[in-house]
Amino acid sequence: MIRLKRGLGLALASIILVFGLSVMQAKAADVPAIAAASNIKFALDELSSAFTQDTGLKVRLSYGSSGNFVAQIKHGAPFQMFLSADERYIEQLAKSGGTLDDGVLYAVGRLAIAAPKNSPLQLDPELKGLKRLIDSGELKRFAIANPDHAPYGERARFLLKGFGLWESITPALIYGENVSQAAQFAVSGSTQGGIIALSLAIAPQFQKLGRYKALPESLHEPIYQRMVLLNSAGSTAKAFYQYLQTDKARQVFSDFGFGLPPGVAKGE
């Protein structure tokens, strides 16, 4: 019994120790929390380290689905800036009064069709390969983001309808909670492919797993990606906001397959 008690005491003591240690950890210096749609992860990771290198300032990036972030921000999430996958979310937020202004466009999203390396799916901008695979009955699973709340999913549905494939492909569709999850499904090997964001397909991490082809942006409404400063924004968040509008930043966005906001000349 005594040995048992000693063991329990030891377990409790170690719990208290870990707790104490983590409390003692200094609170992170004032580094603004920034919410960003997960489809810009790779571009924004690069931009935030460039920002830190250039200015010495740091930001904390949280990636997730835009819709979820809007709900969290409305209920008081401590983000100082929000980069949405779709400008409609920013309009919603601005109306409820949580933002400094209407924000600014930072990029225009594009779609790509992607497939895992072993997939029989032929990739082309007119989706002829996809049609062939559907007709031959070989298409078992095809991933897109949830068209009911994810902008990339909605545009994918529009595009598939435009090519007359929607009815025939519906039984094979699986939905990602957001476009990043759809992308992960699309190259998981358990699907034959998917329609995802070009910005994810271009990332080197993606290309180890699959191949892709950009889809024509003229065939669907553009995906305007807008960012906004929230009421609590401090000087670092404001500096990052400005930084993302410089030519240097626009070049990075364009390297990751984004179009530039209308009216912005390509700064080569």
Partner 1 sequence: MDWQALLLSVKLSSVTVLILIPFAIFVSRFLAYRQFRGKSWVEALIMVPLVLPPTVIGYYLLVGLGSQSWLGQTLESLFGHQLVFNFSGLVIASILVNIPFAIQPIQRSFEAVPEDVCDAAACCGMSRLKVLFKIELPMVWPGVLTALVLCFSHVLGEFGVVLMMGGNIAGETKTIAISIYDSVQAFDFASAGQMSLVLLIFAVTVLAFTTSLSRRMGAGHASRRR
CB of 261 to partner 1, least distance (A): 25
Annotated binding site: 66, 179
Give the DSSP letter string of 25-43: SPPPPS--EEEEEGGGHHH
Q: Minimal distance in Å, beta carbon 264 to partner 1?
A: 28
Rounded Cα gap, residues 111 and 84, in angstroms = 16
Residues from 231 through 250 that contact partner 1 (CB under 8 A): none
Instruction: Tell me how far apart the terminal alpha carbons of the chain are, to the nearest angstrom.
Output: 76
13 belongs to the binding site for partner 1 (CB under 8 A)? no
Sequence-distant (6+) residues with CB within 8 A of 48 are 59, 61, 240
Query: Interaction with partner 1 in 76-115: which residues (CB under 8 A)?
Result: 76-79
Q: Which residues sit in the known binding site for molybdate? A: 66, 179
| Whole-angstrom distance, CA of residue 106 vs CA of residue 91 | 15
CB nearer to partner 1: give 74 or 128: 74
- Our finding on whether 38 is near partner 1 (CB under 8 A) is yes
* Residue that is written with structure tokens 């920002």 in the block: 51
* Residue choice 24, 30, 53, 75 for contact with partner 1 (CB under 8 A): 75
Q: Report strand pairing: 60-64 vs 104-109.
A: unpaired
As a whole number of angstroms, the distance between CA 220 and CA 65 comes to 21
Q: Select the residue interacting with partner 1 from 71, 170, 171, 216 (CB under 8 A).
A: 71
Site string for partner 1, 156-195 (x = CB under 8 A): ------------------------xx-xx--x--------
Strand partners, 173: 142
Judged by CB under 8 A, the residue of 46, 52, 57, 64 near partner 1 is 64
Task: Using the minimum distance from each CB to partner 1, give the nearer residue, 17 or 54.
Answer: 17
Nearer to partner 1, 232 or 246 (CB): 232
**Residue of 207, 170, 212, 177 whose CA lies nearest to 195:** 212
Calpha distance 68→73 (Å, rounded):
9
Is 267 near partner 1 (CB under 8 A)?
no
Sign of CA dihedral 5, 8, 12, 14: positive
Chain positions contacting partner 1, by CB under 8 A: 1, 4, 7-8, 15-16, 18-19, 22-23, 28, 33, 35, 38, 41-42, 60, 62-64, 68, 71-72, 74-79, 180-181, 183-184, 187, 203, 205-206, 208-209
